[in-house]
């Protein structure tokens, strides 16, 4: 159910994908944990990793659309294999993953550009081992695109000059190209343009983080931009920004899964081999619960994200369901990742502080993911837009099979206008929920029924719809319905053990109750709504034999499954 570098052979992937994943695992295992940690502590820029990527043309294969490939028939943007790569990088360290992540973001507007010439240049730079970056955020405005102050001024000869600063821009020290967002100073239209970090008019002011990764503040003062380097303008530039983030934010969940998986192996190994008062730590009942919770949450994160990637891959102008599942991977999966690390930390305890552990990095890095590419709140605000149609107005769709094909996901670069979210319809969640009867799934269905009763009989009023505090609590409940649905779909496709699935729904029931209590306690919740909330609070179905079986067959059995080479 989880990635394990010691046993994963990537057999089901095509030969080049298998080669990339295996080479990457090998790169990190050869580097070893001691060096990995030393580079992290010394905050050393990962030249070795960038060279490895270049020598093996890895970003070039993974991130070049086939029509721009240079002597590489395996080049394509294949969400499934990019998920694998995210997971592998997250497993070894978020710093490494970040260089890849911001390259993906930077490439979004480049591949969405109007001009062909810049795309050819981009492909060449990828082939030559370049990394990329995405210049959206500004110091005073964060990711508030409306307020962007970066200006592009037209010149009489048809070229442009760029002036302004950007803040929090990954790979700003050496990206081959940065996609920079700003406004045309004459028309006030949004625009994306390409910037070279090795140009004499580009100033990398500083790395704003003390870390291996380079997160730049950069300045452009009269930086010359040719007409070919203007990628997209007007409303399409706005769409390119959001559509790029749609692609990029999906990766955050997979990075979280990678981090948690490594941390789980480390914490479990430590606990299972540590003897206290004549017992192993893993014999304590509360430790069994903490580890089982961590494991089941992690498996659920992976089941959900795998299924969400299927919907990303079948997305089209007619099927935009991915626009709900995608922010959920970003928001729900990454916050579940924090929960997993919290549980594991209770078990690994003091060792989690030790400088030689992976865990010490994991506890720091896991916090970043919910905050990047739009905070949890921003993504929740997006998710609640889908609630009415999702729960009350389903549509017919053909069933989506697992999308593991070696194919290019062209639609991601042609997603079109970003509006009209409230009109998107979904397949009926009842299909998944109705297909399985397990004690905790049944209780969960009762909770969903109570949520629907609240929304039908005392829906949010005008003020509550504008009250983010209220919407966040309500959104958590709604998110659980979506989360559960895709977990069930994925579990069926992957033939997940029923006891394990029921144990997953044990925490789902508890989480539903918790969020119902939150909504109950929210200031603007009416007394009628509060009554409905109480009906959502349930105990999970207690079954000691199921719990013990899951603990023994799935969790404890991993105790010596993996340890990074020293």
Ligand X SMILES: Cc1cc2nc3c(=O)[nH]c(=O)nc-3n(C[C@H](O)[C@H](O)[C@H](O)COP(=O)(O)OP(=O)(O)OC[C@H]3O[C@@H](n4cnc5c(N)ncnc54)[C@H](O)[C@@H]3O)c2cc1C
Of residues 97, 132, 134, 193, which one binds ligand X by CB under 6 A? Answer: 134
Residues 6+ apart with CB under 8 A from 170: 98, 99, 101, 102, 105, 133, 134, 213, 214, 215, 216
Query: Tokens for 358?
Result: 């992976």
Query: Tokens for 147?
Result: 């307020």
Query: Tokens for 176?
Result: 């081959």
Closest separation in Å from C-beta 102 to ligand X: 4
Please, which residues bridge with residue 232 across strands? 192
Residues 451-470, interacting with ligand X (CB under 6 A): 468
| Closest among 237, 247, 177, 253 to 409, alpha carbons compared | 247
Q: Segment near ligand X (CB under 6 A), from 81-89, 129-137, 395-403, 521-529?
A: 129-137
Query: What is the C-alpha separation between 97 and 511, in angstroms, rounded?
Result: 30
Determine the distance from the C-alpha atom of residue 421 to the mean position of all C-alpha atoms in its chain, rounded to a whole number.
20
Burial class (CB in 10 A: 0-12, 13-18, 19+), 497: middle
Which residue, 100 or 551, is less far from ligand X as judged by CB? Answer: 100
Does 372 contact ligand X by CB under 6 A? yes
Residue 181 main-chain phi, psi, to 5 deg:
-100, 135
Closest separation in Å from C-beta 472 to ligand X: 9
Residues 6+ apart with CB under 8 A from 349: none
Which residue, 54 or 377, is less far from ligand X as judged by CB? Answer: 377
Does 431 contact ligand X by CB under 6 A? no
Query: What is the C-alpha separation between 22 and 7, in angstroms, rounded?
Result: 11
CB 442 within 8 A of CB 503: no
Of residues 89, 107, 178, 215, which one binds ligand X by CB under 6 A? Answer: 215
Closest separation in Å from C-beta 169 to ligand X: 5
Of residues 84, 239, 293, 373, which one binds ligand X by CB under 6 A? Answer: 373
Which residue, 2 or 215, is less far from ligand X as judged by CB? Answer: 215
Taking CB atoms, the residue at the shortest distance from ligand X is: 142
Alpha helix stretches (DSSP H) within 273-284:
none
| Closest among 276, 432, 423 to 349, alpha carbons compared | 276
Render 377-443 in DSSP notation, one character per residue.
HHHHHHHGGGHHHHHH-----PPPPP---S---GGGG-------GGG-----HHHHHHT---HHHHH
Q: Segment near ligand X (CB under 6 A), from 132-140, 195-203, 251-259, 345-353?
A: 132-140
Which residue, 297 or 330, is less far from ligand X as judged by CB? Answer: 330
Does 142 contact ligand X by CB under 6 A? yes
Closest separation in Å from C-beta 171 to ligand X: 7
Closest separation in Å from C-beta 166 to ligand X: 7
324-363 footprint of ligand X as x/- string (CB under 6 A): ----------------------------------------
Q: Segment near ligand X (CB under 6 A), from 118-126, 321-329, 366-374, 485-493?
A: 366-374
Residues 6+ apart with CB under 8 A from 370: 331, 334, 335, 338, 376
Closest separation in Å from C-beta 134 to ligand X: 5
Closest separation in Å from C-beta 213 to ligand X: 7
CB 294 within 8 A of CB 302: no
Query: What is the C-alpha separation between 44 and 173, in angstroms, rounded?
Result: 13
How many residues touch ligand X (CB under 6 A)?
Answer: 22
100-119 footprint of ligand X as x/- string (CB under 6 A): --x-----------------
Does 137 contact ligand X by CB under 6 A? yes
Does 143 contact ligand X by CB under 6 A? yes
Of residues 5, 129, 130, 170, which one binds ligand X by CB under 6 A? Answer: 170
240-279 footprint of ligand X as x/- string (CB under 6 A): ----------------------------------------
Does 369 contact ligand X by CB under 6 A? no
Of residues 65, 93, 130, 374, which one binds ligand X by CB under 6 A? Answer: 374
- Which residues in this chain contact ligand X in the complex, by CB under 6 A? 102, 133-137, 142-143, 168-170, 209, 215, 371-375, 377-378, 381, 468
């Amino acid at each position: 159910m989880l990635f394990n570098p010691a046993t994963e052979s990537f057999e089901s992937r095509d030969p080049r994908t298998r080669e990339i994943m295996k080479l990457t695992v090998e790169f990190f295992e050869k580097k070893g944990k001691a060096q990995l940690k030393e580079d992290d502590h010394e905050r050393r820029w990962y030249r070795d990793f960038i060279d490895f990527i270049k020598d093996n043309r890895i970003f070039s294969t993974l991130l070049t659309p086939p029509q721009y490939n240079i002597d590489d028939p395996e080049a394509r943007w294949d969400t499934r294999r990019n998920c694998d790569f995210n997971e592998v990088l997250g497993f070894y360290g978020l710093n490494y993953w970040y260089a890849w992540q911001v390259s993906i973001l930077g490439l979004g507007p480049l591949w969405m550009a109007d001009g062909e010439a810049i795309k050819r240049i981009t492909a060449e730079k990828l082939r030559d081992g370049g990394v990329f970056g995405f210049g959206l955020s500004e110091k005073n405005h964060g990711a508030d695109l409306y307020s962007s102050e970066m200006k592009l001024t037209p010149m009489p000869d048809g070229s442009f000059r760029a002036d302004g600063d950007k803040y929090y821009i990954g790979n700003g020290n050496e990206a081959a190209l940065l996609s920079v967002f700003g406004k045309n100073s004459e028309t006030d239209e949004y625009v994306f343009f390409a910037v070279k970090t090795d140009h004499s008019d580009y100033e990398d002011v500083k790395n704003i983080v003390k870390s291996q990764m380079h997160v730049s503040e950069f300045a452009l003062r009269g930086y010359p931009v040719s007409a070919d380097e203007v990628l997209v303008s007007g409303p399409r530039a706005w769409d390119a920004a959001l559509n790029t983030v749609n692609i990029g934010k999906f990766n955050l969940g997979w990075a979280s899964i990678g981090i948690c998986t490594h941390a789980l192996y480390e914490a479990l190994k430590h606990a299972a081999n540590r003897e206290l008062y004549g017992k192993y730590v893993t014999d304590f009942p509360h430790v069994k619960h903490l580890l089982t919770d961590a494991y089941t949450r992690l498996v659920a994160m992976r089941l959900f994200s795998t299924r969400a990637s299927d919907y990303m891959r079948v997305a089209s102008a007619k099927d935009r369901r991915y626009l709900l599942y995608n922010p959920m991977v970003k928001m729900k999966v990454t916050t579940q990742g924090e929960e997993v690390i919290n549980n594991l930390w209770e078990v690994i305890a003091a060792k989690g502080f030790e400088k030689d552990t992976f865990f010490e990095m994991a506890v720091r890095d896991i916090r970043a993911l919910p905050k990047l590419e739009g905070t949890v709140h921003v993504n929740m605000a997006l998710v609640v837009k889908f609630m009415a149609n999702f729960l009350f107005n389903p549509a017919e769709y053909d069933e989506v099979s697992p999308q593991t094909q070696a194919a290019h996901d062209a639609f991601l670069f042609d997603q079109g206008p970003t509006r009209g979210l409230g009109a998107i319809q979904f397949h009926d969640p009842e299909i998944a929920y109705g297909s399985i009867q397990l004690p905790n799934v049944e209780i969960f269905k009762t909770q969903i029924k109570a949520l629907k009763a609240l929304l039908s009989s005392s829906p949010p009023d005008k003020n509550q719809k504008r009250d983010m505090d209220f919407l966040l609590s309500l959104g958590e409940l709604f998110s659980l319905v979506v989360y559960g649905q895709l977990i069930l779909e994925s579990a069926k496709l992957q033939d997940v053990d029923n006891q394990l699935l029921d144990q997953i729904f044990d925490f789902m029931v508890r989480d539903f109750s918790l969020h119902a209590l939150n909504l109950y306690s929210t200031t603007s919740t009416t007394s009628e709504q509060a009554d409905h909330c109480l009906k959502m609070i349930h105990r999970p179905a207690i079954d000691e034999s199921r719990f013990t079986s899951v603990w023994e067959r799935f969790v404890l059995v991993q105790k010596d499954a993996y340890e990074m080479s020293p």
